[in-house]
Structure 1
């Protein structure tokens, strides 16, 4: 799973039920992918920096080399409508099935199989029923990255 920088601060606050569900998933064996430019963006959020460090020590952080991510970013950049080709590149290189984001343009990119190959699932808040997390729990059961 990849966490976009636009959700990092919310993730650290843990004031949304779906993000609490995600943290429980990570703490019970889930893994998060990081690397390249996105990792630099995430490290700017002080609380996220602490979580990434903790997850790294616990073996829950899958680090993808910045070189691999940058090379993939150069390939996908020309096809992306978002300003986040580095997130798309990381998701591809990490073989992450799910991306946590609310960025509409990034979501378009992640659903474009011509860019990402296998379509990625989007983990975001259910605006109609923010307290319901059953869909999120089911989504997390099928997630992992290499």
Structure 2
């Protein structure tokens, strides 16, 4: 089975004075603003790192829910935060790490079992595997 989802971005202007809009196929985001100030100066708007964080946290949490079910457990509550680190390295910027913080209420699970299943979810989550994914690119320059 293959599932294809789309996110899109539009941009006008230069890096610091330009502005962009991001949208998702589902409509969860529609022409939502992003730009240099939102990414690097803490101003209103979104940025790629928080979107990656939300994607990773949601993917990991869903994967954990599946793995808990396979172990005969059901969570009353799972809350995950993903801290995505963007750092200046070698004259440019790179996402250097993602730290997942999980809090859960899972009747019947002890801490050791919870840790084991969470580690399994972290390894199996498709977003966790993202860095191992081949990325392709098609371009068209319009006149």
Report which of the two has the higher share of helix: 1
Question: TM-score scaled by structure 2?
Answer: 0.23
If asked which structure has higher relative contact order (CA below 8 Å, sep 6+), I would say 1
Larger Rg: 2
Question: TM-score scaled by structure 1?
Answer: 0.23
